[in-house]
Amino acid sequence: MVGDTDVTTDQRHAAALLELAEADLAIARLSKELDDLPVKTELLRLKRTEKELEALQQKASTLIASIEREVKRLEDELAQIDDKISVMRARADAVAAADHKELANLMKEVDSLVRHKSKKEDELVEAMERSEKAAAKRAEIDAAIQQARAKESALADRYRAEGGEIQRRIAEQQAKREALAASLDPALLARYEAVKAAKHGIGVGRFENGRCSVCHIDLPADRVQALESSGPIGECPNCHRILVVSVDR
């Protein structure tokens, strides 16, 4: 025999269970809304762009450093060639009057050094041009990164503003669901959580017009009768969700 008190308790649990399921659905919907905020997608896309730009910046810096080493090497080589030319010219001055053949040899060597110097100077000019181009490219990348970071900061502000309101509503629903969960019979709560986890987040249906409000499958008359006489909380014979048969809300 079921007493009046038990019926009332069952009714109260059934009502709380429905409200709990509503809170859970609201939380799922709001969480999705938060995930789907266009500003979030924009923010993620911008962060990817920033990563790509940072990689380009790294590449440009490596290239500039390597060209700088090349410039330094060419400058050292040119200084050495200048030294050699000075030495050769000093020698030429010393032998000038005495030995025509030696003088001719020395002048030939000086000519060859001057040609070599000219070639190295061309290389240096070319390396410096490359260095300038690379530096301009890096300046462009630096500017793009700065621009992206400023935009990211503005988007983050927008996300905090738009997402903050949704997060506040999620917290509200979570507080509500915690109070409802605490009011439920622990066994019923555990059953609900298990069914919800197994059934894509929807653990409870209402029994309306001979059907479960979730799966909408027409039930045979004997099943309908069995549910109607089973008390406020049953199980859908089709989708096996908890079925709230009747409730005074």
Of the two residues 163 and 234, which places its CB atom closer to Zn ion in the complex? 234
Q: How far is the CB of 17 from Zn ion (least distance, A)?
A: 15
Question: Using the rule CB under 5 A, is 219 a contact of Zn ion?
Answer: no
DSSP H/E element including 106: helix 100-183
Of the two residues 144 and 215, which places its CB atom closer to Zn ion in the complex? 215
Please say whether the beta carbons of 127 and 65 come within 8 A.
Answer: no
Question: Using the rule CB under 5 A, is 215 a contact of Zn ion?
Answer: yes
Please say whether the beta carbons of 22 and 203 come within 8 A.
Answer: no
Of the two residues 128 and 224, which places its CB atom closer to Zn ion in the complex? 224
Question: Using the rule CB under 5 A, is 244 a contact of Zn ion?
Answer: no
Q: How far is the CB of 212 from Zn ion (least distance, A)?
A: 3
**Which of 40, 181, 239, 246 forms a contact with Zn ion (CB under 5 A)?**
239
Please say whether the beta carbons of 117 and 77 come within 8 A.
Answer: no
- Beta pairing, strands 242-244 & 204-208: parallel
What are the percentages of helix, strand and coil residues in the chain, rounded to 5? Answer: 80, 5, 15
Of the two residues 210 and 231, which places its CB atom closer to Zn ion in the complex? 210
Alpha carbon separation from 201 to 71, 157, 218, 238, 240 (Å, rounded): 66, 32, 22, 17, 13
Q: How far is the CB of 221 from Zn ion (least distance, A)?
A: 17
Strand order in the sheet with 233-235: 211-212, 204-208, 242-244, 233-235
Of the two residues 34 and 245, which places its CB atom closer to Zn ion in the complex? 245
**Number of residues counted as binding Zn ion (CB under 5 A):** 6
**Interface residue list for Zn ion (CB under 5 A):** 212, 214-215, 236, 238-239
